[in-house]
Structure formats: structure tokens, C-alpha cells
Amino acid sequence: MFYWNAQSNEEYNQVETMASKPLFQRALLIYAFSALLEVFSQPFYIVAQNLALFGLRVSIEGAALLCKIIVSASLVLTFYKDEWAVIAFSYAQLIYACAIFVGYTSYFTFNGKKKHDLNMLPERLPEKNYFDYHLLGVTFTFLKQSISKFFLTEGEKYVLLYCGTMTNQGVYDLVANLGSIVARTVFQAVEEIGNTTWSKLLSDKNVETRQVGVLQSRKMLTVLLKFCITLGSVFVFFGPAYTDVLLLVLYGNKWTSTEAPKVLSAYCFYVMFMAVNGITEAFAHAAANRTQLDHQNKWSAISMMVYLLVAYLFLAIFNLGVISLIVANCLNMGIRIYNNSNFIINYFGSSQPIQEAIPTRASCAVLIFTFVVTNVSKPYLHPLLHVVLGALCLLLFIATIRLTDKAFLVNTKNLLSGKKFD
């Protein structure tokens, strides 16, 4: 595939040089084995999430990440002039995977039965059944979902591989890694907490307690959705005016002359789509039964096909560059948000949980004012003054929320601290 992607003799020679490295194939095998170890750790991770053992997860993954950083830094500094530098990062990933696997398996092996009344070791099913057919059916449902999610999250890389140049890949990797930081650090954590809590609240079969759980889930959905929309709005209305400055500070002039600033500006809008889709999809997956999950899988398949088709047409046929992948991703997220919103409205019998998550009119006015002022003043102000202007607008936005939406701030604080919210 790398050879297929080579668009010129220079790129072909670069690929050939990389693939001819003696330890290149070994590095790929190490990465594959690391991925296998992380797959074996997944059942323990899922149980830890279901038991709300967030402290355990932070401890294990934090220690694993620290080991990975130490090993990668040590190996790169030691073998930076040697061919072993090729697999330095693969060994660091292997250490990370081993730490994750050992951490989770050790905890549940020694504490699973004693603290949580769980036996994580394989057992023969009663009545000589070799398969739990109900569990097998649910697993197949999630398998279909995983396949569509794989192409939705990784499809862009294959489109770039076959239709784009290595420059396109470099620009997109730079923008995606930079722009998705908030998705990996904030949105993912919020989605996981929400999904775990909703799964517990909505799985109670007692009618009275279930009604209480539905009411709590509705309030929690509104608070988390409003939090994600508010944070996403900062990227949409503040981000596009400051992509040039950000790239200049982080990487110098190397990337500012490419299409990276324009792509990063478009990615700011995509962050909002990710924020809304992530939290609504987390609720839909937690509240849906098997039939509804199958329906959601059909929508995922539709959005996947639309996404791949649009990405291919815009990139390969119309030559719109890397920004075409952002447009395709936004369209894909839009379809999924539409489906998730319909599920939420049908589940609660009202669109009120979504309507209440929209920021106040005063906040929206400040955001629009900020977008206009920062973009219009950009060509006329020194970058430092332009950053100061953006900081003042951000302070104005925060002050507006404090004055016009105190209930949202209180509920968010209570939710994050584990207290009840109004």
C-alpha cells in the first residue's frame, strides 16, 4: 500500500528506503503483538468501567503511559544514530501494552472475587452448553457496530493512502493529532463517564427506581450535552482566527505556508460535530436494546458509505485537498447526530433535553461577536495583540455564562464532583 501511494520517484525512493530497513518488519510485528495484548485487556477494562473503578483506570493507564514515555525517550536517545531507532517506539508500545495487561489482570485475579464477587477466569457453562447464545447474539451486534466504527474512524487514512499524496498525509496527520487533543482528553472522558452511569441507571428492572433513573439520566444528558456544546463553541467561534498563530508557535514557518492553517480552521468546526455526536451516541448506546442497536448499526453503515463516497469524490475527483476529508467527516457526524437525536426524542417523548442544552442567547451573541471581531481584525493586528484580543473575548464569554447560566455551572460542578444536581 505504501508503494501504491508513492506519487513521484522521490516519494517512491523514500518508501523503498523505509521498507528496506532491517528492523522495519520486526517493528510492525511488535506493534501487532502489542495490539493483541491490549485486546486481551479489554474484558477487564470493561468490567472496571462498569464498576466505576475510575481510580483503578487512572492508576494503571497513568503508570503504563509513564513507562511508555520513559522507554521511548531512553531508546530514542540511545539509538538515535542506529538502525534500532526504527523500533524504539514499537518497544515502548509493547511496554505500554504489557503494563495495561498486567495491571488489569493482576487486580481482578487477586481482588475480583474478594471485593466484587467476580470470577474473571473462564468456566464451563451449565448443562454442557459451549456457547451462551444470547451473549453471542449481542456480541455479533457489537461486532457489526465495531466494523462500521472502524471504517468511520480509520477510513480517512485509507482514502488518503490511495488517493492523496504524502504531503496530504502529513498535513492531515498534523491537523488531526493537534485538533483531536481535546477529543481524546476531554470529550472521551465525558462520554465514558456518561455511558457508564447511564448503563447503570437505565438497566434497573424495578419500575419505580427505573423511573428515577430515567429522570436522572435526562438531567445528566442535558448537562453533559450543554458542556460539550459550550466547549465545542469555543473551537468554532475562537479557533479559526488563531490557527496561523498556533502553527507558527508550535512548528515555526514550516507548516504555515501549506494548507495546514486552512485545514485546521475547518477542523475547529469538526470538533463541535465530534462533541455533540460523542455524548448523544454514548447515551443512545447505553439506553438502546438489541433491536435498537441493530437499527443504529444500519445508520452507522449508511453514514460510513456516505462518508467514504464523499471523501473519495472530493479528494480524488474534484481535487479539493485535505479539507475534503473534514467536510466528509462533518457530513458523517451530522447523519449520526440526526439519528441519535431522534432516538433521544423518542426515548424521552420530548425534544426538551436537547433544547435545554443550547447555550443562552447572551452567550450566542458573545460568540458571534467574537467570531466577527477576531476574524476581521486579524489582518490588521500584530499576532500578540490579536491573541490578547481573543483572550479578552474569551473572558467576556466566561463572564456571560456566569451571569446568565448559573444553574448550568452549578450542575456541571456537582456532576463532576459526584453530587446530585437540580
Most confident option among 39-53, 158-172, 273-287, 310-324: 273-287
Joined together, the cell numbers standing for residue 207 give 419500575
pLDDT tops 80 at residue 92: yes
Which residue from 99, 40, 33 is spatially nearest to 66, judged by alpha carbons? 99
Q: What pLDDT sits at residue 397?
A: 95
Find the range with the poorest average confidence among 170-184, 211-225, 230-244, 397-411.
170-184
Q: How many helices (H) and strands (E) does the chain have?
A: 18, 0
- Mean pLDDT for the stretch of residues 286-309: 83
Find the range with the poorest average confidence among 6-10, 229-233, 378-382.
6-10
Give 82's pLDDT tier (boundaries 50, 70, 90). low
pTM of the model as a whole:
0.77
pLDDT tops 70 at residue 228: yes
Q: What pLDDT sits at residue 420?
A: 60
Between 327 and 147, name the one with better pLDDT: 327
pLDDT tops 60 at residue 371: yes
Give 202's pLDDT tier (boundaries 50, 70, 90). confident
d(CA 163, CA 175): 18
Give 94's pLDDT tier (boundaries 50, 70, 90). very high
pLDDT tops 80 at residue 156: no
pLDDT tops 80 at residue 252: no
Q: Give domain limits for the chain.
A: 1-123, 145-359+405-422
Give 18's pLDDT tier (boundaries 50, 70, 90). low
Q: What pLDDT sits at residue 204?
A: 73
% of the chain beyond a pLDDT of 70: 87
Give 55's pLDDT tier (boundaries 50, 70, 90). confident
Joined together, the cell numbers standing for residue 270 give 469538526
d(CA 181, CA 258): 21
- CB neighbour list of residue 190: distance below 8 Å, 6 or more residues apart: 224, 227, 228, 278, 279
Q: What pLDDT sits at residue 14?
A: 52
Q: What pLDDT sits at residue 205?
A: 72
- Mean pLDDT for the stretch of residues 61-66: 88
- Mean pLDDT for the stretch of residues 94-100: 94
Amino acid making up residue 64: A
CB 364 within 8 A of CB 351: no
At 1 the three-state DSSP class reads coil
d(CA 172, CA 154): 13
Between 109 and 333, name the one with better pLDDT: 333
pLDDT tops 80 at residue 351: yes
Q: What pLDDT sits at residue 8?
A: 45
E strand or H helix at 390: helix 383-404
pLDDT tops 90 at residue 401: yes
Q: What pLDDT sits at residue 123?
A: 67
Between 350 and 124, name the one with better pLDDT: 350
d(CA 266, CA 350): 33
- Mean pLDDT for the stretch of residues 46-56: 78
Q: What pLDDT sits at residue 61?
A: 86
Give 1's pLDDT tier (boundaries 50, 70, 90). very low
Tell whether the torsion through CA atoms of 408, 409, 414 and 420 is positive or negative: negative
Q: What pLDDT sits at residue 172?
A: 81
d(CA 100, CA 93): 11
Which residue from 49, 34, 140 is spatially nearest to 87, judged by alpha carbons? 34
Mean confidence (pLDDT) of the chain: 82
pLDDT tops 60 at residue 5: no
What dihedral do alpha carbons 135, 136, 139, 143 form, nearest 10°? -170
| Angle 362-365-366 from CA coordinates, rounded to 5° | 90
What phi and psi values does residue 59 have, to the nearest 5 degrees?
A: -65, -50
- Chain Cα centroid distance, residue 28: 24
Give 2's pLDDT tier (boundaries 50, 70, 90). very low
- Mean pLDDT for the stretch of residues 159-165: 72
pLDDT tops 70 at residue 4: no
Most confident option among 7-21, 24-38, 292-306: 24-38
Using CB atoms within 10 Å of the CB of residue 340, give its burial: 0 to 12 exposed, 13 to 18 middle, 19+ buried. buried
